[in-house]
Amino acid sequence: IALMDAKFHQSVDLEVIYKMLDEPDPTTRAEAVFALGKISQSRDDVDFSKLVKFLDDEDQQVRIETIFALGLIGKKRPKEIIPLLITKFYKLDRSSYMNISETELYAESLGVIGEFHPSNEIVITLQQALMGNTNPNAKDVVSKALYRIGEGLIRSGKAKRTIESEEFYNQISWLSTAKKEYTIGNLMIIFIEALQQKGIREEVMDIISDSMQDLLPIFTFIKNEKKPNQVLNTIKTLLAQAYYSNYDDEILEIIDRIDSLISFKKYFEYSDSQMKKDAEFISMQYTPDGKQFHDQGLIFMNLEKEGPVFLEYALKSFEIAIQLSPNEYFTPNCYFQMGLIYKKLNEPEKAKQNLIQAKELYTVMDEIEQMKICEEYINSIENKDKN
């Protein structure tokens, strides 16, 4: 039942599944909980209160499935589910190896909800888990959950690009932080603070490094900074301090990413063609990774509401991504996004050329749905030209 499509879920008799929750067999209870979580994604009448008691079930698999299910339900009912999961998360012995799976799933579920409903409560809870006495083997999942919140903030357009005062470091109960505002900058500070911990596991270091590098483009073009690249340079200084705590190449990679973004910004500041070429070259030298330029292009597209100039930043990012990685899985999306941007900029011929290129690459990759979408856009451009 759980793995069927949304149409089938609409016809499911929930009472039958509710009765399964009372079965003595833990496998049956676990399957029922899992099914209710999945069904909740296409129906609003799943009674989550019937699941709460199973967070304390004697069987670990039932507890795990309940955390997962409530995480899914929380995307639609965050006000009820967030306090519930956080309260249980705090009571859990997160340092115990016996509880690693539950610790990871609580963090993951809070990240799933936080991606769509970023909240102070979730951020401070995950920060304390990352910095506190959580089993080191679970901290990579905690880091991923914080990153998901950052992604959600960017997509929602609520990503205030500032770094708050040192008061942010206060380790206080989540209940007293309701009026405190957390920003993308604060998430970066959390990651940097974590990098300063001694003996951080390599897996956690990798996740934090990747997360920071993915979020950094949000700070590239900030209006009214008192000094050029003030926020990026502040982060760079803090990273240099973190490097003395953990001599790890991952930290140097983040610093290189910052230098790449600063050079990328200079490309748009220079008027001399040779200086622009030099800035672009240096940017690619610091970040010779097409995927990162592809991802920063998507971030700049999300910032379009701040001004159409962000579309120019996105275009250049996709161009560099293609130059660095002409035959990767994300390459067709670069052409596709460029086609959409040129369409917005009322340059139909360039839009059409890029959409055709995207379609050809999707054809090679056998991406049927994306091929159809490209074809629809191409047809709409051609029909508009005829009219």
Point out the least confidently predicted range of 10-24, 72-86, 335-349: 10-24
DSSP state of 51: T
User: Which position has the token pair 């990871």?
Assistant: 104
Task: Over range 240-267, report the average pLDDT.
Answer: 94
> What is the reported pTM?
0.84
Instruction: Give the start-to-end residue ranges of the domains of the chain.
Output: 77-197, 287-385
Specify whether domain 287-385 bears CATH 3.30.70.360: no
Give the integer Cα–Cα distance in Å for 185 and 162: 5
Does residue 163 have a pLDDT over 50? no
Query: How high is the pLDDT of residue 158?
Result: 60
301 SS3 class: helix
Residue owning tokens 């700070």: 219
Name the band, by pLDDT with cuts 50, 70 and 90, for residue 387. Answer: low
**Listed range (111-120, 174-183, 373-382) with the worst mean pLDDT:** 174-183
Percentage of the residues of the chain whose pLDDT score is greater than 90: 66
Residue 43 φ/ψ region, left for φ over 0, alpha for ψ in the -120 to 50 degree band, beta for the rest? beta
Other residues' Cβ atoms within 10 Å of the Cβ of residue 85: 23
Half-sphere exposure of 262 (CA within 13 A, CB side): 17
How many Å apart are CA 124 and CA 122, to the nearest integer? 6
pLDDT band at 199 (very low <50, low <70, confident <90, very high): confident
d(CA 21, CA 33): 7
Query: How far apart, in whole angstroms, are the C-alpha atoms of residue 70 and residue 115?
Result: 15
Q: What letter represents residue 241's amino acid?
A: Q
pLDDT score of 181? 52
Sign (positive or negative) of CA dihedral 122, 128, 218, 221: positive
| pLDDT higher than 80, residue 151 | yes
The mean pLDDT of 144-163, rounded to a whole number, is: 76
Report pLDDT for 6: 63
pLDDT digits (tens, 9 = 90+) for 56-70: 999 999 999 999 999
Q: Which residue has the tokens 């957390």?
A: 182
> DSSP alpha helices (H): ranges in 40-135?
60-74, 78-91, 100-116, 120-131
Token digits for 105?
């799933």
- Tokens describing residue 302: 């999300």
- For the chain, the average pLDDT equals 89
pLDDT at res. 350:
97
pLDDT above 90 for 322: yes
At residue 224 the predicted structure's pLDDT band, cuts being 50, 70 and 90, is confident
